[in-house]
Amino acid sequence: MRRGIVLGMLVAVGAAALSATAYLAQQQPAGRAQLPAPGVVEAEKVKDNLFMLKGGGGNTGVFITATGVVVVDTKYPGWGKPILEKLRTLTDKPVTMIINTHTHGDHVSGNVEFPATVEVVVQENTRSNMERMERREPRPTETRESLDIFKANNYRGMPKRTFRDKMSIGRGADQIDLYYFGIGHTNGDAWVVFPALRVMHSGDIFPGKSLPNIDPVNGGSGLEWGNTLAKVYGGIKNVDTIITGHSTLMTMEDLKMHSDFLRDLAAAVREAKKAGKTVDEVASTWRVPAKYAGYPAPRPEQLRTPVQMIYDELK
């Protein structure tokens, strides 16, 4: 989809489609983001004390515990306030913790709008990635403003607490298990499990049924991504429902399918490179195998970027 059509759609279909459309824009090979202006977030109830907030960037998870609210991901700049306003309709409890699944501006920028007392927790590589946001160039869904957001807010909302492979927070009905299973979208993607509810927030390492949006600048890998998802499928057994990074609720079987999809794509690209094909040849000829239900047929211009990135990894 070309940018002009994307922008036209934004006008035509309104705020409800912003998240999905912004995600589509991530597949664009070049160009600068038009970040969605702050608006209203929609709440979808997942369990009595767990909600998914849509709009304004990645899906936000809201976990209401006995002592306070844990927020997973905080969307684009200016969307922290809409999250807090929606929370007021769901609970009287204060926000006590933010967990960011990874470093991207559509998942962390709202942090700065929460009280400075809120504890921010991330995987340790994500903390490093967040610390150097202000020194790198914007990705297609970012702007200079979104990369400088912590610097501009005196580093409010930056993470202080980190984990490497696994950490549990709280107990019983309020327990949260944080896992890191390896590189994929970035090198710091956290899996956030609410074991009492059998629900997990996956962030963008499982954004939905879409092409891989690989971020090599933050350590992502198109070759390893599918393997990492296979480890998650084999390693996390107490989950039925997944809050995806940018799509609807999904299941562990959907995650397994995405693992297979990414492995098949990586294998096809590897073979094509070995056979001497150009990136453009692969982008214009690769088709989603029929067994992958729910995956849209990509256009060559959407495929070119991930194929190029996998070619670069194979060097």
Residues of this chain that interact with Zn ion (CB under 5 A) are: 104, 204
166-169 sheet: strands from edge to edge: 166-169, 176-179, 191-194, 199-203, 241-244, 249-250
Cβ of residue 215: shortest distance to Zn ion, in angstroms?
Answer: 7
Between residues 204 and 224, which has the closer beta carbon with respect to Zn ion?
Answer: 204
- 27's tokens: 């597949």
Between residues 104 and 209, which has the closer beta carbon with respect to Zn ion?
Answer: 104
Alpha-carbon span 295 to 211, nearest angstrom = 8
Around Cβ 272, how many Cβ atoms within 10 Å?
20
Question: Collapsing DSSP states into helix, strand and coil, what is residue 203?
Answer: strand
Cβ of residue 159: shortest distance to Zn ion, in angstroms?
Answer: 16
Cβ of residue 67: shortest distance to Zn ion, in angstroms?
Answer: 30
Between residues 113 and 204, which has the closer beta carbon with respect to Zn ion?
Answer: 204
- 269's tokens: 């690209």
Cβ of residue 271: shortest distance to Zn ion, in angstroms?
Answer: 28
For residue 70, give the nearest of 90, 56, 55, 54 by alpha carbon: 90
Between residues 146 and 259, which has the closer beta carbon with respect to Zn ion?
Answer: 146
Cβ of residue 25: shortest distance to Zn ion, in angstroms?
Answer: 12
Question: Collapsing DSSP states into helix, strand and coil, what is residue 175?
Answer: coil
DSSP 41: P
Between residues 91 and 128, which has the closer beta carbon with respect to Zn ion?
Answer: 128
